[in-house]
Structure 1
Amino acid sequence: MKTLTRKQEIVATASKLFKEKGYNAVSMRDIAQAMGIKAASLYNHISGKQEILSTLILEVAIEFTNGMQTVLAEESSPVQQIERIIEMHIDITVNYSEGLAALNNDWMHLENDELRSFIRMREDYEENFRQIIKRGIAAGEIQARQPEVILFSILSTLRTLYLWYQKRGKLDVNVLKQDMVAVFLHGIVNKL
């Protein structure tokens, strides 16, 4: 098992507290108390809550950005790319649950360059996804529906998956991927 640096321990502890209480409700003193150390000791490793938040959120945002770039680089159909994006979201949900909570709930507390960087990554990600959907519609692989509705439907579910997943216990990730891809791409109605 990999040993965490003190900064990684601080970020991991803070991320759990942010997920439970929200960024604004957590103080550096709360983080120190959860770690069993004095608050002043935290500042030997990190500048403050803002650094913790940006580390946490940007790590997850970079995972999404890199994942999207990998999907775009593959020579596959739009439907196959959407399948890979759904699977990537599930993997990130499983591996970065606390970070995903901060990304979804606390991103607006980022400041300056970190905020601009996050917004740019999110906008680029959504635009890439939108273009995949449009290519799928143009190729006749996806029904001619409003791309924004498709994008919203998929992303709104995937962005909140971490909430649902933690309440359901540990479902088999492969079954979850298979079923979510099937529901998103084939719907729930049996063909008559």
Structure 2
Amino acid sequence: MSPAQTKTTPSRKAGSDRRSELIQIASELFAERGFLATTIRDIADAAGIQSGSLYHHFTSKESMVEELLTDYWTTLLENYRAVVDTETDATEAARGLVRASVLLLDECALALRVMLNDWAYLSETFPFMEERLAECQTIWLDVLERGVASGAMTSSVEPTILYRTVMSSVSGTARWFRPDGPVSVEKLADEMATLFMNGIAARP
């Protein structure tokens, strides 16, 4: 490693750490107050810096929330793909998709709460959100349709309605679930998966 590299690497790491810290602070405010109600001054005050200092790291509060949302959708879709790549049985794949969705209540709790607060504005501002949501729906519908075709899942309800019901329930859980509460996210994931799979299983 050259002397120049030795000198710049710690600085870059410090800058990256500070950037992540600022996103965390901003995300907590967005989740608590709403994205639209939170100002750059609010974020700067919470971080203990001048408003202008934020612009050394970000061009706007939109650029801050964009990183938060991008991380969420990237993680969700990666986890979904991992499920369908490893589970050939439709019932087990559907169970895995429910669990993957619920487990993000811990890892991506702030992103979920921010989206619940301001979905209309954020999805219009960041079209990739609707695009990623459409990818999620495609994955879900493929699994549900395979389950119905195999006779393992009920055909009495349209797969699209099943998908939307499951996702609405899971996302709504972000309003009340707290990872440090009496129920672990793993237990919640298992119980919600069991609840939904019992509901959509085909009856004799």
- What TM-score range do you get, normalising by the shorter chain? 0.7 to 0.9
Shift of 1:168: 8.8
Change (3 A) 1:168 1:111: closer
What amino acid is aligned across from residue 133 of structure 1 in structure 2?
Answer: L
| Alignment map for 1:44-59 (pairs within 5 Å) | 44-59=56-71
Shift of 1:72: 2.1
Please give the TM-score of this superposition, normalised by the length of structure 2: 0.83
> Which residue of structure 2 aligns with residue 19 of structure 1?
31
Task: Number of aligned residue pairs: give it.
Answer: 186
> Which residue of structure 2 aligns with residue 60 of structure 1?
72
| Paired residue secondary structure (2:176) | helix
Alpha-carbon separation, structure 2, partners of 1:48 and 1:181:
39
Alpha-carbon separation, structure 1, partners of 2:171 and 2:123:
22
Q: State yes or no: 1:139 paired with 2:150.
A: yes
| Alignment map for 1:19-168 (pairs within 5 Å) | 19-110=31-122, 115-144=126-155, 145-166=157-178
> Which residue of structure 2 aligns with residue 176 of structure 1?
188
Superposition CA RMSD, Å: 2.3
Contact 1:56 1:102 in 2 (8 A): no
Gaps of 5+ in 1: none
Please give the TM-score of this superposition, normalised by the length of structure 1: 0.88
How big is each residue's C-alpha offset from its partner over 1:92-147, in whole Å with a ceiling of 9 and x where there is no partner?
111111111123333444488x7232221111111211121111000111011211
Contact 1:107 1:115 in 2 (8 A): no
Which runs of structure 1 show a deviation greater than 6 angstroms over 4 or more consecutive aligned residues?
Answer: none
Contact 1:13 1:34 in 2 (8 A): yes
Contact 1:93 1:100 in 2 (8 A): yes
Identity over the aligned pairs, expressed in percent? 23
